[in-house]
Each structure stands twice: as C-alpha cells, then as structure tokens.
Structure 1
Amino acid sequence: MAEISELTTYATRGAQMFLRFDDDEIARLARFGEKRCYRAGEMLARVGEAGPGLMLILSGQVEVTQSGGGERRHIVTHERGNFMGELAQLSGRPYLVDEKALTDVEAVAIPADRLRALLVAEAELGERIMRALILRRMGLIESGAGPIVVGEDADADVLRLTNFLRRNGHPFEQLDPKEDDCAKALIDRFQVEVEELPIVLCPSGKLLRNPSEDQLARCVGLVGPIDPDKLYDVVVVGAGPSGLATSVYAASEGLSVLTLDCRSFGGQAGASARIENYLGFPTGISGMALMGRAFSQAQKFGVELAIPDEAVKLECGNDPCHVQLATGERVKARCIVLATGARYRRLEVDRLEEFDGSSVHYWASPLEADLAAGQDVALVGGGNSAGQATVFLASRARRVVLLARRPLSATMSQYLVDRISALPNVDIVDGCEIASLEGSQGVLESVSWRDRSTGEQKRHPVRFLFSFIGAEPNTDWLQSSGIRMDKRGFVLTGDDAGENRFPLETSRRGVFAVGDVRSSSVKRVAASVGDGAQVVAAIHAYLASASEPAPAPAAEPAQAAAE
C-alpha cells in the first residue's frame, strides 16, 4: 500500500491536520454527538457515500485510505483523541476517503448541524478543528482524491471539467491516455469511443461520458435536491465576493440562508492570480485562496450552498418571493439578494468559437499557467484583472504580449503598471485591438492586432490568448421580474430604484442587489464584500417592517362620533 505522507501538506502540517485531543477536550466535544460502536474490519465511512459526520475516536484504531492511480494509499491511522473528517462533513456531503476499523472501535458521531454548533460554541477547539478540516482538504487536493478525469491535457472539455472542480475546491485526478497506462485501461475496460472523451469515474464507481458540469457535480455530491417546502429568510443568487459576504454575515446573525451559483464560488475574483490591494493581506493573496476561505466560513455558519444550480426566473408578485431553477425546482424566501455579478465579455473576432476553451481562456489559474509554460502567449485587456494575470503568466510563459486599447496608466493600478513594465519577458502594445486569429483544429498559432489610430495590422505567433476585456451584467434572467435597471443592464438600488427604499433594495420590495451587478457599484473585491455586509442590516430592517401589523383603517365619521 502506497504512503502519501511525503506530500508537502501532509509532511509540513501533519501535526495540525491530525491533532489529538486530551480527555477533558474529548468530554467537551462528545456532548455534541452520539456514541457508536464498530467491530474490527467494519467500515466507518466509504468513498462516495454520505457518512455519519465527524467521528471522534474514543477507543480503538481506524485506518484512513484513499484510492488513486490504480492503488490504495494510506493516509493516517487514528486512535483515541483523533477525529475523522474534512470539509465535506461540514455540509453532510459524501466522504472522499475510506475509513476502516482495524480493531473494535468506539467513536462519537457528530452530524453536520451539530458540528457547526460545536465550532461556534467551543471557539478555541472549533478553531483547531476548522484549521484541520481545511488542511485535510488541501491534502486531498494535493494527493488527487475524488473523481478521475480521463482525457488529453489540452482538450477543451478536459479543461472545462477540471477547471470546474478546481474552482469549487474539489479534489480530482486527471489522467492523459497518451501518457498513462491506467487511463488507457479505463478506456478499454468501459469501451469508450474517442468522441465520448473525456470520461469521469466518480468516487461512487459511476462512469460519465463527457458530462456537463451539473452532471459531474451531482455525481460527486456537490449538489442535491432542495427542499421545496422550506421558507428561507434569504436566498442569495451568486457566490462571488458580495454573495459570500452576504451569506456569511446573514447566517452568522441567525438568518437561514441558501446561496446559489450556476458555476462555482468566487466569481471573477476567484480567477485572480494575486490580489495585492485587499486590506489585511500586505503580501497579497490569490483570488481562489481568498474566496475559498469565505466559502469555508459560509459552511461553518450553516449556509446551504447549491453549486452549480442556475436561477432562471424571479417571481416576486406575492409574498414570499420564488426563484425558479434550471432544474425545474423552485425555492422560496422572505428576501432575495441578487449577487450575480457580471459575465466575461467576448472578443468580437472571427473564429473565436473554434479556439474557445482550448486556446482562448478568460482566466489565468495554475492550470492555464501550466499549459502556457515555455510558450508565447497574448493577453488582451487593461484593467487590474488583466494586470494580475499578466504578472502571473509571465512567471511561466516564455513571452507575454499585453494588448490594450488605452495606455495602462489610464485603467490599471499604478503598482501593477510598474511591475509589468519591469518584467523582461512582457511586451506592452497599447492603442490596439485584436483583428484576427489563426490556427487549426482548435490549436491557436497566431494573433493579429490592429492599431486603432492608423489601421496598421501586425501578426505575432502565440499558442494561447487570454481575454480580460471587462464584463457585462448578468441580468438576462431578470427581464420578466419587473426590476428596474440602468441603460447598461445593471440593477438600480436605493433612491435610484424608487421612493422609500432600503439601502441596496431594488424596485421590488424585499429584493436587494449587491456587488458588480448593482448600478454605480465600485468594481473592486473589497467594495463587493462591503455591499454584502451592508445589505444584511437592510435585510433586518426590511424583515422587521414586514412583520409589523398593518395600521387599523381610519374609522368613519359617524362611528368615530359614537366611540
């Protein structure tokens, strides 16, 4: 059996990942669960199945293993004072590892709702447990637990699926059949045709053939059915910075919260390679790391997260409001918070569809950086996101050509302008726009750009093109809702939406808008988080006003005289 203890996270953070509680701490934790007994050889939890929750060991030994690369890997053996579980147990999702009793075992099972209560009630112990849960998830991501994606590294659908899992912080393993014998064996075993690739082998053993993100999410247990009878205090549509901030603040103040997103948590901020102007992080932090922390925080406070679940219609003619989902489900809430942000604008250039997903990308994660390693790439855009991506890609690519419509100093923070100017492998070309793309079979070979003042065109060989040309409001699904918007499609709030509106409230009572989707918002992560905090105060005020009894009608004159 292979060992994974030599991997970085396990080797350097093992003491924090697999901490052991003393007898007094065990007693404090045990009151949140119920005792269970297992015989030697019995499974406490299986990969792909929702188990009993966090398991605190009272006596005996339990071996934790994971499957990967055609072999079973030993992670750790738990004894008295250790506990079993990782981030999935915060929300009752399926296990990513197998847990087997080596001896007779006594344990305390702490289900998801009681685990969240523990984290709040036992602050010091809860902090240690929360850190361990996060580190264990990091270890599983590093070691390749979870579903196995089989397909060529540069295939557009492989990138689509692996990016989806990566953006949702879910472990996975990707195997290229050109280089991996296990991948070839899986293809032969399941008689997979070339046009059916990529395939995904889920932890449950189910095989998917080139699935959609929704199919993959349901197969690995990321999302499940929503209770149609439950009335939530708040339904948040969108899990970017503003949506997650709303979720955390609302849930921490006792409101029941459901948060939806059609793709992944983090929004556009999650795609930022490094954010250096966010308060409190002087050395910077990646967008994914920042949003991952917010996502874990939301789970800690009991936010129900349905990702990916797409909202397609908002109905607020009656109380309560309803959100209709693409699955046909309907959820109801006393308040709705629109945090749908903006979607990436696409270049208006011929043949874009041919290269989309394989050679043209809209974010620069470590996955894209690996593809671009040693290659010549082009990046178009002039905002901070484009600047952050340029710096990140320049550390891996051979050369980066940065194309912008205006001088960078007019649209980008000065610290990024200075840093890019100092990079020896970055060429800055401003006053231009993309004119054409060249290549074949989805492989980009060169781009041409046009000088906006002279019309002169230049051609440059590149393997990848990264587009950061801004975004448009994600409000198409609101067209029938009656919510007022500005001429660009951003949602009006407060005094701009109508009289006597709460801060951040739209023209529909009880419906609020935060973050980039809001008209006149400041397109910065910190501003979006601020919206999320501010809107919770407005929600409390709205709910208080909605619960007040209506004033009695004025009495008729004759009745008044009689009284």
Structure 2
Amino acid sequence: MAPTVSPTIAARRDQMFPILAEADIERMRRFGDASVYAAGEHIVTAGEVAPGLIVVLSGTVDITQDAGPGRRETIVTHGAGNFIGELAQLSSRPSLVNAEATQPVEAFVIPSQRLRDLMVQEASLGERIMRALILRRVGLLESGTSGPVIIGPAGNGDTLRLQGFLARSGQPHRALDSNTDPCAKTLIERFHVDPHHLPIVLCPNGKLLHNPGEGELARCIGLLRPIDTSKVYDVAIVGAGPAGLAAAVYAASEGLSTIVLDCRAFGGQAGASSRIENYLGFPTGISGMALMARAYNQAQKFGVEMVIPDEAKLLSSAGGGYALDVGDGETVRARTVVIASGARYRRLDVANLAQFEGTSVHYWASPIEARLCSGQEVALVGAGNSAGQAAVYLASQVRKVTILVRRGSLNATMSRYLVERIEAQPNIEILAETEVVALEGHEGNLDAVRWRNRATGTETTRPIRHLFLFIGADPNTDWLAQCNVALDARGFVRTGPDLAPAHGLMETSRSGVFAIGDVRSGSVKRVAAAVGEGAQVVAALHAYLARNGGGAVENAEPQQARRP
C-alpha cells in the first residue's frame, strides 16, 4: 500500500520542513543543549513526551507514523539543518510520531519552555518555526493515520462522541468501523473485546480504553495533565471560547501566569461554525475551527497552561485569592478569575429528544456529521447566523436541507449575505412559521421528523434521519449557583456599575472575579465582541492585581503604551 500523502505536505513541503541556514542555527543554539544519537536509536516514540524541538546538525532521522497493526509509514527523512517536532513540542504533550536515527546524529535539543522563549525573542525565526509546527499538525490531521484509534460501529453514538471530541481538540485520530474494516476486526480479536463493549480506543502509548469518557481519553493521550496545586496563577480563565482564548493570549503575552479550563474542548460555539465570513481581517472567510485553533496555538506560544477537558465546579475564596474546584478533586488557585464559560446549546421541547442526541440529532455541522448524512435529506431548525452557516455547508454535502423557522422569515435574525446565499441554493427549502412536534425512530436512530405549520396547523411527516438544531443558547452558569456571583433573571452573569458604583464594566459582584463574552449579561453575542472583551478584561486584571499586590504586573508596561 502506498504511503498516505497529506495534501498540505504535497503543496507546502518547503514551509513544513525548512532547511535552516547556518546563521539561523547559531541563533537557536543558545536555547538548546547538545545531544548525540546512535544509528538505530529511537529518539522520539509516539505516545511519549519528546525531549523538545530537536535541531539536526549531522546525520539522518526518519519520521514515521503508525499506519495499522505492525505497519509504519515514513513521513519525511530529516538531515542536517532540519528540525524534529510539531505542535506537541510547544506544550510538552506526547508525540504523535516516531523519530529514529538512521545514521549517527549530532543535534541540540530545545525544551518546550525554551522553545517558547525562542519564538518570543527571535521573532522572524520563531514565525518560520511556528508555521512549520502548525503545518505539520495539519498534515497529520489530513493523513488520518496518527494518534488514537477509535474502533466501533460507524453510526454509534459513543463512537461519534469520541470522534467529535478529538476533532474539536485538533487531535489526529483514526476511526475504524467495527462492522466492515478488517483492521478493526483484527484489533478486536487481538484484544479479545466483546462487541457489546465497543467502542474501544487504542491510545498511542499502547493503552486500551473501553468506551472512555472525554476526560479519561484526554488523560491517556496526554492532553489533560495533573494540576500543580502548589502554584498560584495570576489569572484562571473558565472557558476556552473566543473570549477566554483572547483573554489568555493578552494576559500571558503581558506577563501574567495564566491557566485556562474548559469542560469540552477549545473553541466554544464559534469553533463549531463551518464558516465565518464577517470576522474582520478574513475577507475570504475562515472556519470556526481554524480560527479557534490559531488562537489556541497562539495562547500556548505565550505559555498559557491548558486544562481541557476539565470542569469548574465551585469558586471560593482562598488566601486573598480564589480556589476553583475542578475535575477529580483537584483545585486551581489564582489571584483573579475570569468567567468566560459561554453558553450551552438550547434543546427542543420534544419528549423523546434525548434518545436521538449524539446519533441523529446534532448541535453542530462538522465533516463528521456531513459524512453521516451524505446524499440524504436533512432538517435544520434555526434562524440565526450559525444556522445559516450550517445550512450552506450541509447543502454542499447532502441531497436537500429543509430549514424550519418559527418566525415569518430569516430576515430579522440572520445576516443578509447568508440569507441571499441560502436563497440561491437550489437544494435548500425554507419553511417559515414551522416547528418540530415529534421525532420517530428506534434504538437511538431517527426515522422521521414531524413538523407543524403554526399558522394553519397542518402537520407534515418526512423520512429524515438527521436533524440539526441551532435554536440559540442558554448561559452556562449552573456551576455558579453556590459561588455568590450575581446573575440576572435569565442566568447571565451581572457585571459593572449597576452592581457597585466603583465596578468596572466586566467585574462581577465578587472583587477580582470578571465575566466576559456570551456569559456576561448585556454582552453582544458576536465572535468579534467576545474577542474584544477578552482583550479588554486584561487591563482590568492588571489594575486589580496592582491594587492588591500582584507581583506579575510590576514589570508590565503602562496600560496606555500597549498596542494590539
């Protein structure tokens, strides 16, 4: 079988695998330590943390990825002037590839912390390295052969759940259909797995998981690591959507020790958007996942510690700062807290909705869902921009999209450019003043959707197996119920002078606790607005820490001198 070649590798090989000039190597030497490797030595093993970015001075190294039981594919062979590493090395995560010396190798190794120093101190060189690391991750995602292997029935809810989590986390992985894939059957037999216990996940470190939760899987592949309970961060940010990631980038780049928590994956609702075309600076548009992945990588470049997925459960005062109870009995300690927990998807008021969620009822439209319903007719409920973006994307993948709208039209709630695009699609039908009244199916699989015209009362049943819901969101603030943080009547976090005359716009009822983005009462529910609030709140953090003896701000430049 021919090796899997990523389209990105084919098109951008020179940027992915640059050969460093001698002058560049000399600039990098001060960040690393010399090392030698014998021919045949395993320098990096998939599933284990690599020592850092490795710059090859002489000799050759084969970079390979696992491609099935007992098989490896060579991605590239590095020689003098090349460097070994991808995004995993930016944050000391386990490697996704193997590196083996095919000749005696002289090199120097730049540990993760020093790699971040290099990118900040050597801007132009750091830009080239960062671009290469990102493109290498893109190549691994495209090849579909690295990372954990999910084995289970293709339409199974848990199989889809695990695929969705890894995709939203930017993690390369393979999904093998246990009913049809011969490799899947081989692995099931090798590990003596009862079909009733599927799906299973084979992690790169060799560990086998039986239908794991997202947290268990994240720990197995090294995404989620133990929290250092002895450390007190300048700021803990709850939520890794546009607002939380923006706050993290600005806070860390200005010298604040920063930790970010999210109970699902980075990106929030914006990360699930198939295409964003009205975000400033992207005239051709960008997918929500691509935009949020850039922000996530940017935050890690500045040393932000990511704890994802891990859920904040309780906020309490501790030693002049705050303690956040999270996950499996762990605690994060911080001088300040930024609540950026966003919103959760609103659900239809239909009695048996839950039995179809995860298999036939979807809250985002990614390539995973598109493959499930390719060539079929689907229904989509919603009239906002996220619904419009999803409808246009799905129309390119399915036979027909029926949009169900409770209002008389899309014009009042959707951007005009999206309305025009939808109206131009021959396979999109808009049914105004229409609502879903019943779902029909069995064993978690949808067979039909029944809807009613609100004006005439006429009901229609269509043989639809996939329903997409984009009907807005409610604030994700249940976790704040016992935290003495004031909420408004709808559950959004109250901030600003209406709580106390001296309060800044984003400060909550608790001093040193701030709220930004969709979760904040009165905020503008736009990606750009969330990013703006994330940047703006950092000024408030600096001011609060300065008043309360926060050491990190002593060396920060004055607020008025800062630029974007």
Query: Partner of 1:343 in structure 2?
Result: 344
The separation in 1 between residues aligned to 2:443 and 2:324, in whole angstroms, is: 41
Q: Is 2:34 the partner of 1:32? A: no
Tell me which of 494, 505, 514 is aligned to 2:516: 514
Unaligned runs of 5+ residues in structure 2 are 552-564
Query: Partner of 1:544 in structure 2?
Result: 546
The separation in 1 between residues aligned to 2:119 and 2:253, in whole angstroms, is: 12
Contact 1:320 1:333 in 2 (8 A): yes
CA offsets 1:372-423 (integer angstroms, 9 cap, x no match): 2100100001111001000000111101110011121111111111111111
Q: Normalising to structure 1: TM-score of the pair? A: 0.96
* Deviation (angstroms), 1:318: 5.0
* Deviation (angstroms), 1:351: 1.5
Query: Partner of 2:507 in structure 1?
Result: 505
AA of the residue aligned to 1:246: A
Query: Partner of 2:75 in structure 1?
Result: 75
The separation in 1 between residues aligned to 2:335 and 2:93, in whole angstroms, is: 27
* Deviation (angstroms), 1:478: 0.5
Query: Partner of 2:489 in structure 1?
Result: 487
Tell me which of 455, 462, 466 is aligned to 1:460: 462
The separation in 1 between residues aligned to 2:29 and 2:2, in whole angstroms, is: 33
The separation in 2 between residues aligned to 1:496 and 1:453, in whole angstroms, is: 42
* Deviation (angstroms), 1:548: 9.1
**Any residues of structure 2 matched to 1:122-271 within 5 Å, and which?**
122-144=122-144, 145-271=146-272
Query: Partner of 1:561 in structure 2?
Result: none
Q: Normalising to structure 2: TM-score of the pair? A: 0.96
* Deviation (angstroms), 1:317: 6.4
Q: C-alpha root-mean-square deviation of aligned residues, in Å?
A: 1.3
Query: Partner of 2:561 in structure 1?
Result: none
Query: Partner of 2:94 in structure 1?
Result: 94
Contact 1:251 1:257 in 2 (8 A): yes
- Higher-Rg structure is 1
Q: Secondary structure at the match of 1:192?
A: coil
Q: 1:83 to 1:409 in 2, by over 3 A?
A: same
CA offsets 1:275-297 (integer angstroms, 9 cap, x no match): 11100111111000000100110
Contact 2:384 2:414 in 1 (8 A): yes
The separation in 1 between residues aligned to 2:318 and 2:95, in whole angstroms, is: 41
Q: Secondary structure at the match of 1:410?
A: coil
Query: Partner of 1:444 in structure 2?
Result: 446
AA of the residue aligned to 1:506: T
The separation in 1 between residues aligned to 2:435 and 2:32, in whole angstroms, is: 61
The separation in 2 between residues aligned to 1:335 and 1:51, in whole angstroms, is: 33
Contact 1:379 1:466 in 2 (8 A): yes
Deviates most, 424-433 or 236-245: 424-433
* Deviation (angstroms), 1:2: 5.2
The separation in 1 between residues aligned to 2:396 and 2:522, in whole angstroms, is: 35
Contact 1:379 1:390 in 2 (8 A): yes
Contact 2:35 2:109 in 1 (8 A): yes
**Aligned residue-pair number:** 548
The separation in 2 between residues aligned to 1:499 and 1:317, in whole angstroms, is: 25
Query: Partner of 2:313 in structure 1?
Result: 312
Contact 2:154 2:178 in 1 (8 A): no
Q: Secondary structure at the match of 2:47?
A: coil
The separation in 1 between residues aligned to 2:370 and 2:194, in whole angstroms, is: 30
* Deviation (angstroms), 1:431: 1.0
Q: 1:495 to 1:318 in 2, by over 3 A?
A: farther
The separation in 2 between residues aligned to 1:495 and 1:521, in whole angstroms, is: 15
**Any residues of structure 2 matched to 1:301-450 within 5 Å, and which?**
301-316=302-317, 319-406=320-407, 407-450=409-452
The separation in 2 between residues aligned to 1:547 and 1:26, in whole angstroms, is: 41
The separation in 1 between residues aligned to 2:268 and 2:118, in whole angstroms, is: 30
AA of the residue aligned to 1:64: I
CA offsets 1:447-502 (integer angstroms, 9 cap, x no match): 11122233322212212000011111000111111111110000011112323112
Identity of aligned residues (%): 59
AA of the residue aligned to 1:523: K
Q: Secondary structure at the match of 1:250?
A: helix
* Deviation (angstroms), 1:330: 0.5
Unaligned runs of 5+ residues in structure 1 are 550-563
Contact 2:313 2:325 in 1 (8 A): yes
**Any residues of structure 2 matched to 1:45-56 within 5 Å, and which?**
45-56=44-55
Query: Partner of 1:552 in structure 2?
Result: none
Q: Secondary structure at the match of 2:95?
A: coil
